Amino acid sequence: MAKENKPLIQEDVILTKIYMVRGQKIMLDRDLAELYEVETKQLKRQTRRNIDRFPEDFMFELTNEEYAYLRSQFGTLKRGSHAKYLPMAFTEQGVAMLSSVLNSDTAIKVNIQIIRIFTKMRQMLETHKEILKKLDVLNRKGIEHDEKIMLIFEYLKKFEEANKQQLEQANRKRIGFKTNKTD
């Protein structure tokens, strides 16, 4: 009998908990703890006990400025819901490593979902980059064409001015003596 692949958490719920900090997609400790159905302090404790598994590119603590910026993105927090300590930010690799630190079935299943979403996001970004590259090429070609068209217009203006001068010279009355040539 095949296993049922019904997700525990809706994809859009997980997507709302992914932020960009320091140019990386991250998830905060409190959001992960909520998804894993554990207390934030337990998640932090397990992370600190296994700190060797979490180098800087897997997990880092937010600065005061980063946390203040993210808090402004959350809106106003309920009384008592702000953290006493700065939150930990987990990159995709850090989230993957958490599954080895937290051994609950829920944590493992949710972790798989999160990793799949990170993978989808990466694939979408790659597709997006390809589209942007193609648009950039088209834009450059468009600029080159615009420059060539402007050059053609400049030549046409010069040609028109030269033609106008020739017409003016042809239409003006000639001054001077006329000689009759008779042979």
Domain-by-domain residue ranges, the chain?
Answer: 11-125
CATH 3.10.260 corresponds to the domain 11-125? yes
pLDDT of 81 above 70: no
Residue 131 buriedness (CB in 10 A; 0-12 / 13-18 / 19+):
exposed
Answering whether pTM is above 0.75, one says no
pLDDT greater at residue 160 or residue 4: 160
Q: What is the pLDDT of residues 112-154, one digit of tens each?
A: 888 888 888 888 877 777 777 777 777 777 777 777 777 777 8
